[in-house]
Amino acid sequence: MYMRNFPDSQTHYTVKDIHEVSSEEVPTCSLSTASFPCNDLSLAGARNGLHGRHSSAFWEFVRILGEMGARRPPIVLLENVTGFLSSWGGKDFRDALVALNDLGYGADTFALDAVSFVPQSRPRLFVVGILSGQDAIQDALTPAALVSKVRPRALASFIHEHPEIRWRIRILPEPPEADARLIDFLEDLPEDAPEWWSRDRTEYLCNQMSPKHRKVSQEMIRKRIWSYGTVFRRIRNEKSMAELRVDGIAGCLRTPRGGSGRQILFKAGYGRCFARLVTPRECARLMGAHGYRITVPLNQALFGFGDAVCVPVISWIAKYYLNRVVEELDAERAARPVQFRTAN
């Protein structure tokens, strides 16, 4: 799917286990970014932490940065689930930031939710490492001053509870308030489209709802308008339950490992109801990639979008953070006195 969107991908896109990647293979660059597996950090996972089978890939990224030596990029950007902050009581997050410090990076951290840009609840934690400049919190940045939509209280408290970390904190603007609705991101599929489930399968889904959610679904069915919600299956008290969300926002897109990873669209009104999986095109729209070409089977597309970063979130970070850091680093470089060596 990536190659179909970027025809020159063979010149720059390498598919390889990061444990087998050497620093020589990584080009000299201004920004190095990584989104390592969240399996061991997520609340939905085993919580084995940064030394778990999957999330330990982070240390290979650190290894490569270290091996790059003088070619080390001046800016590093990391992304992961918000559970990274609390993994092993905060020890994993601290260890990751100290590892960046040991490589010469001052650290910053903030959180953004895709819901500020698209109708998808997708909170994510970001870390920025910067090589040059003064690495410290300004005295005026008290915990109260740091608390904001991008640095919730738990994150602000972590910063002030860990003075041993060399911080480089940047005050950021508040993210926008999105006015997009789920209904505006859905494909208009006819009622006889094969994507819609059979009546029996839809009724089975409704029967998996709790009495509270079943009541909401019945109210939707009775209305004389079409209304929409999304459903995830979850295990509650050792029983598979269908949880209905009807606030106009999709749940976080996930990789389709097992039935619980697939998000379901529920449509109801005029005495009827329908259900189907959220389509790959709808996933693309919910990730801010409206025009992305999708040329792979359903599950492969769902895996791709479930593991991706939301495009407008990264655009916001580039505009209000990364581009400004680049300008500052360029200014620092330009202000340094030129040194001349006397030839022997």
In this predicted structure, what is the pLDDT of residue 211? Answer: 96
In this predicted structure, what is the pLDDT of residue 344? Answer: 46
Torsion sign over Cα 220, 222, 226, 232: positive
Buried b (16+ CB within 10 A) or exposed e, 327-336: eebeeeeeee
Of 3.40.50.150, 1.10.10.10, 3.40.47.10, 3.20.20.70, the CATH number of 26-179 is: 3.40.50.150
Separation of alpha carbons 295 and 4, rounded Å: 7
User: Encoding tokens for residue 241?
Assistant: 């339950």
Separation of alpha carbons 116 and 174, rounded Å: 10
In this predicted structure, what is the pLDDT of residue 88? Answer: 81
Q: How far is CA 161 from CA 64, 217, 246, 311, in A?
A: 29, 46, 38, 32
Closest to 266 (Cα-Cα) out of 171, 196, 173: 196
In this predicted structure, what is the pLDDT of residue 330? Answer: 86
Cβ contact 39:54 at 8 Å: yes
Strand order in the sheet with 106-113: 31-34, 75-81, 123-130, 106-113
Tracing tokens 């998996």 back to the chain, one arrives at 208
Buried b (16+ CB within 10 A) or exposed e, 126-141: bbbbbbbeebebeeeb
Residues of the chain under the 70 pLDDT cut: 37-55, 133-141, 258-260, 337-344
Contacts 24+ apart (CB under 8 A), 37-43: 38/80, 38/81, 38/83, 38/84, 40/87, 41/80, 41/81, 41/83, 41/84, 41/87, 41/92, 42/81, 42/83, 43/81, 43/83
In this predicted structure, what is the pLDDT of residue 207? Answer: 96
User: Beta partners for 240?
Assistant: 235
Cβ contact 168:103 at 8 Å: no
Separation of alpha carbons 109 and 55, rounded Å: 19
Closest to 117 (Cα-Cα) out of 57, 163, 174, 164: 174
Tracing tokens 């689930």 back to the chain, one arrives at 81
Separation of alpha carbons 101 and 7, rounded Å: 37
Q: What single string gives the DSSP state of each residue in 194-222?
A: TTSPPHHHHHHHHHTS-HHHHHHHHHHHH
In this predicted structure, what is the pLDDT of residue 36? Answer: 77
User: Encoding tokens for residue 158?
Assistant: 């972590």
In this predicted structure, what is the pLDDT of residue 225? Answer: 97
Q: How many CB atoms lie within 10 A of CB 72?
A: 20
Strand order in the sheet with 227-236: 239-245, 227-236, 264-269, 272-277
Cβ contact 137:169 at 8 Å: yes
User: Encoding tokens for residue 93?
Assistant: 């997050």
Which pairing describes strands 75-81 and 123-130: parallel, antiparallel, or unpaired?
antiparallel
Domain regions of the chain by residue span: 26-179, 182-305
